[in-house]
Structure 1
Amino acid sequence: MKNIPSVDLSDFLSDDSKRKQKFIKEIGEAYEEIGFVALKGHFLSDDLTESLYKEVKNFFNLPEEIKESYEIEGIGGQRGYTSFGKESAKGKKEGDLKEFWHFGQEVIGNEKLKAEYPKNVLVNEIPNFNKVGMETYKKLEKTAIYVLRALALYIGLEENYFDKFVINGNSILRPIHYPPIKGEPKGAERAAAHGDINLITLLMGASASGLEVQNKKGEWIPVTALPEQLVINVGDMLERLTNNKLRSTIHRVVNPPKEDWGKSRFSIPFFTHPIGEMPLNCLPECIDNMHPKAYEDITAGEFLNERLRELGLLK
């Protein structure tokens, strides 16, 4: 496989049962094989994408002291700004060569969850930053819900199985800036090899190449997608839930060739997280004699905290 498979969400959304079944089969098999797809037919418009990239670039161009004023202590970086080099991949001592921002869930109709999640951080200097960020958040969340519905059917669950866990879930939209590289990185990468923590990740087109995914043979494949496509991959929570049926593939963002060190790179992933109470116990539909239960029972909240500690974001 030279690149990741392409799928079209409008097949799943159509009234044609054959097209719907085709999408379910294509995305399910892709996630068993390599854990990544390029998806078109989603809910995010080109105009909104363009607006968010403009706002994000404006934010990361702010002076360091202003950006750092939006870095909130004690919440594991779950909202607001995280400064350069703070996050490292699991098992890696060098910090990744990036700074980022987190938009989180705006809870509707659940006061308990509303009190549980940190509040979003408002940026005073850029009037449209939060508005455009949250508009994008909702469009990507809607897309994620439909992708998970297709996967529920592929696994053999009821179509809306994930809805109750993902609606009001602890999902994160993360605009990332990889600044120009100023000197020899000494073992650090823009993002070292890692698997994502969550159920699925939706990636809006990055401003430069660099994303690579590892196939079953251990080879690194550059991920390319058309501007109108989202790259969507399986996270560790979904791999665990499906008892390794769907694969959370290791991926990385490599440093550019030396002649491109002076250029910034921007990318914006949406990490689809469920509510903390969601059980990640291996589904009975994914356990058999050939595939015995591979993981202990745990909730999504417990698993997230465990991983945030491993990443150095929680003490």
Structure 2
Amino acid sequence: MDLANIPVLSLSADRADLPARLGETFRTYGFAMIRDHGIDQALIDRAWDLTKRFFALPDETKRAYFLAGKGGARGYTPFRTEVAKGATEKDLKEFWHVGRDLPEGSPLAATMPPNVWPGEIEGFEETFKQLYARFDAVGAEILSAIAVHLGLDARWFDPAIDDGNSVLRLLHYPPVGEGAGGAIRAGAHEDINLITLLLGAEEAGLELLDKNGEWLSVAPPPGAMVINIGDMLQRLTNHVLPSTTHRVRNPSGERARYSRYSMPFFLHLRSDFRFATLPQCIDAQHPDRYPVSITADDYLQERLREIGLKS
């Protein structure tokens, strides 16, 4: 398996040329790697510990936090529930979702349910509220650099993501047993959202599909964050910034006996944001692929049905 030659950029040291360098790696791979992101390592370490403690709870305890009919928006989603779009085998994973706490009386409350928190794990709510806020801030910085790269005002995305429907997912891929059949930890898919910020990709398994149809391994150095373009940003930019297919492959040999954990933050638009393709991404050779405007929530609900989280 060849390694994707993705440069590791510094969010602090590379600030002046970050828009150009991020734009180049996103246009090439749909992925980037960022170090010096500013999220405190002690907070990250505490989050990993609490994640492992939650998933070690008995199955019936975890299932008490499964909210039927909510599309996995908050709380717990059981093992082998989600399926990659177009796939038949369900993924070998379970996960927990933390969303945004909206101000009272928010008009977005109908599309963004309140959080639930496991009472069995002390410090869980406090830790993940802090981590969510830090991911939110780093994501806004990345989008600012993307905006400059696209020729937009640096703060163009700010109102589009204000009270956005972003989700922090705590992921557990259990050891791979003999009953896996044709299923893998996460089938080939593209993310729904604007951008995804991922911690935990140091454990082997994450792969992207390059423009030549070859799978490449994504291996960030310790402490670095992997960022990838989602379908919403691909749509907004008329595919100038591609949403790259990726997967999490099953481990082989000794590593198959171990769990894998990761923490993606899916940065979303406001639910009521209405898509209109950016004019600077349209020309005679690249006509608008999406002349019909829909809201971000319309798009999200359609995709949740496609991946089996809503019926």
TM range (shorter): over 0.9
Q: Could you say which residue in structure 1 is the equivalent of 2:302?
A: 306
> Is residue 84 of structure 2 the alignment partner of residue 77 of structure 1?
no
Residue number in structure 1 paired with 2:277: 282
Deviates more, 1:102-111 or 1:150-159: 102-111
Give the counterpart of 1:6 among 5, 8, 31. Answer: 8
Tell me, yes or no, if the aligned pair for 1:72 and 1:81 is still in contact at 8 Å: yes
Post-superposition CA distance 1:8-37 (Å, at most 9, x none): 11146xxxxxx52x1110001111111111
Residue of structure 2 in register with 1:157 after alignment? 152
Partners in 1 of 2:4 and 2:135 — Cα distance? Answer: 27
Assess if the C-alpha contact under 8 Å between 2:202 and 2:222 holds in 1: no
Measure the CA separation in 2 of the matches of 1:45 and 1:28.
26
SS in 2 for 1:252: strand
Identity of aligned residues (%): 44
In 1, Cα distance between equivalents of 2:40 and 2:187: 30
Which residue type is aligned with residue 62 of structure 2? K
Which sits farther off after the overlay, 145-154 or 288-297?
A: 288-297
Give the match for residue 263 of structure 2: 268
Question: Contact 1:108 / 1:168 at 8 angstroms: preserved in 2?
Answer: no
Report Cα offsets for 1:121-178 as digits up to 9, x if no partner.
1111002112111111110110000110111111111111111121210000001000
Figure out how many residues of one structure are paired with residues of the other and give that number.
308
The within-5 A match list for 1:1-315 is 2-11=4-13, 19-20=15-16, 22-108=17-103, 111-114=106-109, 116-206=111-201, 208-295=203-290, 296-315=292-311
CA 1:115–1:306: 2 relative to 1, 3 Å = closer
CA distance in 2, matches of 1:30, 1:97: 30
Aligned-partner residue type, residue 32 of structure 1: R
Contact residue 206 and residue 265 of structure 1 kept, 8 A: no
TM-superposed CA distance for 1:4, in Å, is 1.7
Per-residue Cα deviation, 1:164-217 (whole angstroms, up to 9, x for no partner): 121210000001000011214221010000000000000012462100011111
Structure 1 residues 208 and 131, CA gap change in structure 2 (3 angstroms): same
User: Which amino acid letter does the alignment assign opposite residue 146 of structure 1?
Assistant: E
The Cα offsets for residues 217-269 of structure 1, whole Å up to 9 and x where unpaired, read as 11111101112211000000000000000011000000000332211000010
In 2, distance between residues paired with 1:110 and 1:209?
44
In structure 2, how many angstroms separate the alpha carbons of the residues matched to 1:48 and 1:266?
16
Gaps of 5+ in 2: none
1:271 counterpart SS class = strand
- Per-residue deviation, 1:110: 6.1
TM-score (normalised: structure 2): 0.95
SS in 1 for 2:108: helix
C-alpha contact 2:201 2:219 (8 A) present in aligned 1: no
TM-score under structure 1 length normalisation: 0.94
